[in-house]
Amino acid sequence: MSLVWEQVVVDAVDPRTLAQWWANALGWVVATDTDDEAEIRPAADVVPGLLFVPVRAARAGKNRLHLDFRPIDQQAEVARLLGLGATLADIGQGDTPWVVLADPEGNEFCVLAGSAH
């Protein structure tokens, strides 16, 4: 295969702050931090990463892409993420085995049930 997944680009009103939030949430490192962008990665030389770039307006409407995470302990992970500043989000999911959260800029993501291993 000739393609390598380098990163997912995330629009952010405050790229540095949102990148740091996601780095804390994922246990990743900040690989790049400039006035124009901030990138986080699992390790400085490991891809894919999340690249946060500036936009002027806050997100409006439904996410076109979201991330799903499957932790070992869903309840503990949801509590940890809420403690970091995530919020519970209702996107019409109803009664599901996953929990929908939003990061500090309102980007939804899911914390799935069941073991990651």
Homologous superfamily assigned to 65-117: 2,3-Dihydroxybiphenyl 1,2-Dioxygenase, domain 1 (3.10.180.10)
Tell me: the pLDDT tens digits for 74-104? 999 999 999 999 999 988 888 889 999 999 9
Percentage, residues of the chain above pLDDT 70: 97
Dihedral (CA of 78, 26, 111, 77) sign: negative
- Give the domain 1-55 fold: 2,3-Dihydroxybiphenyl 1,2-Dioxygenase; domain 1 (3.10.180)
Structural domain boundaries in the chain: 1-55, 65-117
pLDDT given at position 43: 97
* pLDDT above 80: residue 46: yes
The predicted model scores a pTM of: 0.89
Burial degree of 86 (CB within 10 A; 0-12, 13-18, 19+): buried
Q: Do domains 1-55 and 65-117 have the same CATH topology?
A: yes
Which residue blocks in 12-107 are alpha helix, DSSP H? Answer: 15-26, 74-84
Per-position DSSP letters for 100-113, written without gaps between them: EEE-TT--EEEE-S
